[in-house]
């Protein structure tokens, strides 16, 4: 689905690992953090990227892929994107019922990996 001129942002967690060896179309820019950086970073990063993209006047979308757990830390920045009238944003939420990457690394049963279920 990605097109030339798009910006792709992947949050820490399954999104980031999933994109680590992806082949992207020409001129798609990719933003992520160091592995296991602070979750929640990607939503305000999406806001900043989409605002800069809009002000550049060039075509393209800002596409965010974010886990359901990370999204809950900084979801208010979706409101900021709406406030600024950004319509060039696509947000894909990996809704997998919590901190899946942590379950894979530290064990599947720990309750601290469970999050509140949101109706995305």
Ligand X SMILES: Cc1ncc(C[n+]2csc(CCOP(=O)(O)OP(=O)(O)O)c2C)c(N)n1
Chosen residue from 68, 77, 86, 91 binding ligand X by CB under 6 A: 68
Reading the block at residue 72, the tokens are 């809950």
Measured CA to CA, the distance from residue 42 to residue 9 in angstroms comes to 7
Hey, what's the torsion of the CAs at 113, 114, 115, 119, to 10 degrees? 130
Q: Are 15 and 23 in contact (CB under 8 A)?
A: no
- Kindly state whether residue 32 participates in binding ligand X, applying the rule CB under 6 A: no
Q: Please classify residue 22 by burial: count the beta carbons closer than 10 Å to its beta carbon, then call 0-12 exposed, 13-18 middle and 19+ buried.
A: exposed
Chosen residue from 10, 68, 81, 113 binding Mg ion by CB under 5 A: 68
- Kindly state whether residue 29 participates in binding ligand X, applying the rule CB under 6 A: no
- Kindly state whether residue 75 participates in binding ligand X, applying the rule CB under 6 A: no
In angstroms, give the least distance from the CB of 17 to ligand X: 8
- Kindly state whether residue 69 participates in binding Mg ion, applying the rule CB under 5 A: yes
Which residues contact ligand X by CB under 6 A? 11-14, 36, 38-39, 67-70, 94, 96, 99-102
């Amino acid at each position: 689905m990605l097109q030339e001129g798009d910006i792709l942002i992947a949050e820490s967690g399954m999104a980031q690992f999933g994109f680590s060896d992806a082949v992207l179309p020409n001129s798609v820019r990719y933003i992520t953090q160091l592995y296991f950086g602070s979750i929640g970073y990607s939503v305000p990063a999406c806001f900043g990227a989409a605002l800069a993209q809009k002000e550049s006047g060039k075509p393209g979308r800002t596409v965010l892929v974010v886990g359901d757990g990370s999204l809950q830390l900084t979801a208010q920045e979706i409101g900021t994107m709406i406030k600024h009238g950004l319509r060039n944003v696509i947000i894909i939420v990996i809704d997998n019922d919590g901190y899946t990457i942590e379950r894979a690394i530290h064990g599947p049963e720990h309750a601290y990996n469970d999050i509140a279920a949101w109706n995305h």
